[in-house]
Structure 1
Amino acid sequence: MAELPESLYLTAREAAAELGISLATLYAYVSRDMIRSEPMPDSRAKRYRAEDVRALKRRRSAEKPDATAGSGTLSFGLPVLDSAITLIADGRLHYRGSDATALAKSSNLEQVAALIWGCRDVQPFTKEAVLAPSERLKGLAAELARTSRIERCLSLLPLAALEDATVYNMTDRGLATTGARLLRYVAAVIAGEAPSDKPVHEVLTRALTQGEKPASELIRAALVLSADHELNASAFTVRCVAGTGATLYAAVQAGICAAQGPRHGGLSGRVESLLLDMSNRQDVEDAVLQRLKDNDPVPGFGHPLYPDGDPRAAALLSMVAEKYGDDANFLRAQRIFRVMEEAGGLKPNIDFAIATVGAVLHLPRGAGLSIFVLGRTAGWIGHAIEQYRTGLMIRPRARYTGEAPR
């Protein structure tokens, strides 16, 4: 075969640079016959067909709008799957087309759950849709009474699934009814009481407070605003588990595992610590400014998807101001978020707002995560149901960056 002109070849570094990849990834493409390589004359090095490199570059550009996005796609990057549940756009949050902040004014979590699950002709939250735990499960729940609320959920959900006779009913009605039992059971476990058909915000309010109406309204709104937030880490985890065919109970358990991480729902604990620390100081503004000066991040502020401020936080803090505007804990929180906006250029997010609710209502430590998990259970169930309906398993490919095959 006649030798091809040198201009039709690229060196390894040139090929990798043109594709924006590492040398190891280039070698992986060669091993999969995506790029042809040939030995260079009088050398142990290889050269790579420029036409193959450029054809691959064109294909990668066609597959995604920004071929250089790379791993950023999985971190507040490009959309990776379709969903009809939640829209985050123009600084607003919608559940199936309904503004979440408007829903938070009067809707309860059960109503929002039915909306998220797409229940048009089915009312899942009937009086009968309540799990009746066996004596064995009740006994185990009693034994775990002193453990944290979230750990109780993780311990009891797998056993509760064994006692839910219709957990494998994958019809629309079956999934909605199982979802209702599951949401109510999570509420009961967090509250430390028997499952019931009572509104879950009332169940949680009784467990965390004296049951006064203003507290109930704030907890109801916090649950609704926590119900879903598109394809976050826990929702994606839930969809991966549901895609394998696992039950709703298993999918929600996976969501809880992801949510309790300190970068996700567990962030609320750091905000609780911040507010507790500030409650012992007179120089709140100076303390916040010192953290900014020390480049010590103040938890509970800013969100990549809301450059102009988290609408969930704005809605919930507005309700707190309306009901507890003269409360010392709220006034202190207000001082914190004012100096953060002025000096740090950041507005409070939902984690700060929920922690503020906790401070105003004198909720126990960890209550913020409990509120988040119970609210988000509605969204997790919705994502699992949506994934079941696709009939697909989520199995992305990795971009190999390791050593070249030998």
Structure 2
Amino acid sequence: MEWIDAATAAERLGVKPATLYAYVSRGVLKRRHGEDGRRSLFDADEIEQLARRGRPRNQPPELVIESAVTALGADRPYYRGYDALALATTVSFEEVAEWLWTGDPSNGLRQMPGFGGSGPRPAADSREGGPRPAAGSGVGGSRPASGGGGGGVGAPWRCEKRALRAAVAAQRGLPPGLLPLDRLQVITTVLGASDSLRYQLDPASVAATGRRLVAGLVDALPEVGEPQGESIAERLWARLTPHPATPGLLDALRAALVLLADHELAASTLAARVAASAKADPYAVVLTGLGVLGGPLHGGASYAAERLLAEVSEPGLAARVVADRVRRGERIPGFGHSVYNNGDARGSLLLDLVREASPEHERLAAVVAVLDEVRRRRLPERNVDFALAALVAVGGMVPGAGEAIFAVARTVGWLAHAMEEYAKGTLLRLRASYTGPPPR
């Protein structure tokens, strides 16, 4: 059997690579991954047969969006060609964000192998102190190269205090015990309303908005613990748990943020791209993503996995808790993945980091018991949602903390995809396959 790469297969069929992958997702073609886990390979005979038959017909239309942000490998994502797992164990969340937004290694990833540059860092400006315009122009003009009172690469990301006070005040009437994800939607709305530069959609401006927004999302959440430091991971820790962070658990949180920063066209990202194609401002784009993220089949799966672990108050209960869900015909939250059929490497890495950080923690026994029971039943492998729930449990975090980590991280990816739509300048218009009564 001869295997050919995607470029050769697409050329033989006379289609774009994006169309080739659409054939894969619709079951028209099969593919396998190369030994590096990154290249897609196709059966040359199958490609030849399809070329002779012509393009498949009578198939439901599928939206194909070309993007340079993230590629999905056999078990992990690659951010602009770079292994997300390698990034998660090497560099900061902020640097990964800059890489996703700009694709410029001089704006981040400075110490990663293969990135030799350490180019100029954006100047740190203050919105309240007369920001300096960034070089260049784009849709709607340009804005400061950094967000708020600092935030270029290497400087802490900040949102100005006036906007933070407004975002905190807006939460005072909310019910006690509200999940963090619901608070993040309120915070995003207030931060957008307070930003007079939100309609500037050139890349530098959107990146500046991203720094301001991520910092505001974190800093406007109620503080439940002592401040840990200046990075986004350190500041987020103090908003999610009253327990001091150990270096290992803080590394696990930082890795989680990196691993969840983007995942190609996940449901929330597709929704965010549609909003951006209509020239919705970045805050509206993120609100769109947040609205979809909370669904139980998406980011809400981490909260379901949290609840699963909460029911396993001692390891001996794992078998009953899993059996109850199987009996009800429910999926076991935190297990299985629609893309990674043979296991989600993001979950493996994050779970390993949690174990290494707190090997003797009492909640790890429950985590291991659930894993053992699921494997005993030969159910699908754990995914990143389960590992995130394990981090929440071991870190003693507030309910819904996993969703908050997911949302803060994925804000970066939504804005990276929004930048691509802003640059295209065309509206994404899906078509329905009408199945109702004939028009009269």
TM-score category of the 2 structures, normalised to the smaller one: 0.7 to 0.9
Aligned alpha-carbon RMSD (Å)? 2.7
Take 1:167 and 1:243, find their aligned partners in 2: how far apart are those partners?
Answer: 16
> Secondary structure in 1 aligned to 2:265?
coil
Take 1:360 and 1:302, find their aligned partners in 2: how far apart are those partners?
Answer: 22
Q: 2:310 aligns with which of 260, 271, 276?
A: 276
Take 2:156 and 2:307, find their aligned partners in 1: how far apart are those partners?
Answer: 41
Q: 1:226 to 1:396 in 2, by over 3 A?
A: same
Corresponding residue for 2:60? 70
Kept in 2, the 8 Å contact 1:205–1:215? The answer is no
How far residue 138 of structure 1 moved from its aligned partner, in angstroms, is 4.7
Cα offsets for 1:261-308 (capped at 9, x unmatched) = 122111112111110111146242354345435533211101021111
Superposed structure 1 runs of 4+ greater than 6 Å apart: none
Q: 1:372 to 1:136 in 2, by over 3 A?
A: closer
% same residue: 31
Corresponding residue for 2:388? 354
Q: 1:139 aligns with which of 169, 194, 203?
A: 169
> Secondary structure in 1 aligned to 2:196?
coil
Corresponding residue for 2:235? 203
Take 2:374 and 2:179, find their aligned partners in 1: how far apart are those partners?
Answer: 32
How far residue 82 of structure 1 moved from its aligned partner, in angstroms, is 0.5
Take 2:100 and 2:353, find their aligned partners in 1: how far apart are those partners?
Answer: 23
User: Quick check: 1:115 aligned with 2:99?
Assistant: yes
Please, what TM-score do these two structures have when normalized by structure 2? 0.71
How far residue 129 of structure 1 moved from its aligned partner, in angstroms, is 5.9
Larger CA deviation: 297-306 vs 328-337:
328-337
Kept in 2, the 8 Å contact 1:271–1:355? The answer is yes
Corresponding residue for 1:391? 425
Q: 1:111 to 1:383 in 2, by over 3 A?
A: same
Q: 2:397 aligns with which of 363, 370, 373?
A: 363
How far residue 149 of structure 1 moved from its aligned partner, in angstroms, is 2.3
Corresponding residue for 1:303? 337
Q: 1:129 to 1:402 in 2, by over 3 A?
A: same
User: Quick check: 1:160 aligned with 2:191?
Assistant: yes
Q: What letter corresponds to residue 392 of structure 2 in structure 1? A: G
Q: 1:292 to 1:396 in 2, by over 3 A?
A: same
Take 2:392 and 2:167, find their aligned partners in 1: how far apart are those partners?
Answer: 30
Corresponding residue for 2:133? none
Q: What letter corresponds to residue 344 of structure 1 in structure 2? A: R
Q: What letter corresponds to residue 180 of structure 2 in structure 1? A: R
Kept in 1, the 8 Å contact 2:69–2:416? The answer is yes
User: Quick check: 1:373 aligned with 2:404?
Assistant: no
User: Quick check: 1:218 aligned with 2:229?
Assistant: no
> Secondary structure in 2 aligned to 1:159?
helix
Take 1:386 and 1:70, find their aligned partners in 2: how far apart are those partners?
Answer: 26
What stretches of structure 1 of length at least 5 have no aligned partner? 1-57, 74-78
How far residue 213 of structure 1 moved from its aligned partner, in angstroms, is 2.1
Please, what TM-score do these two structures have when normalized by structure 1? 0.76
Kept in 2, the 8 Å contact 1:191–1:203? The answer is no
User: Quick check: 1:227 aligned with 2:261?
Assistant: yes
Cα offsets for 1:1-46 (capped at 9, x unmatched) = xxxxxxxxxxxxxxxxxxxxxxxxxxxxxxxxxxxxxxxxxxxxxx
Which of the two has higher C-alpha Rg? 1
Take 1:166 and 1:287, find their aligned partners in 2: how far apart are those partners?
Answer: 50
Take 2:93 and 2:410, find their aligned partners in 1: how far apart are those partners?
Answer: 10
Q: What letter corresponds to residue 206 of structure 1 in structure 2? A: A
Cα offsets for 1:353-393 (capped at 9, x unmatched) = 10011111111111111111111111111111111111111
What stretches of structure 2 of length at least 5 have no aligned partner? 1-49, 108-121, 123-145
Take 1:294 and 1:128, find their aligned partners in 2: how far apart are those partners?
Answer: 48
Corresponding residue for 1:151? 182
Q: What letter corresponds to residue 249 of structure 1 in structure 2? A: Y
Q: 1:83 aligns with which of 64, 67, 81?
A: 67
How far residue 105 of structure 1 moved from its aligned partner, in angstroms, is 0.8
Take 2:84 and 2:189, find their aligned partners in 1: how far apart are those partners?
Answer: 31
> Secondary structure in 1 aligned to 2:170?
helix
Take 1:296 and 1:144, find their aligned partners in 2: how far apart are those partners?
Answer: 32
Q: 1:272 to 1:399 in 2, by over 3 A?
A: same
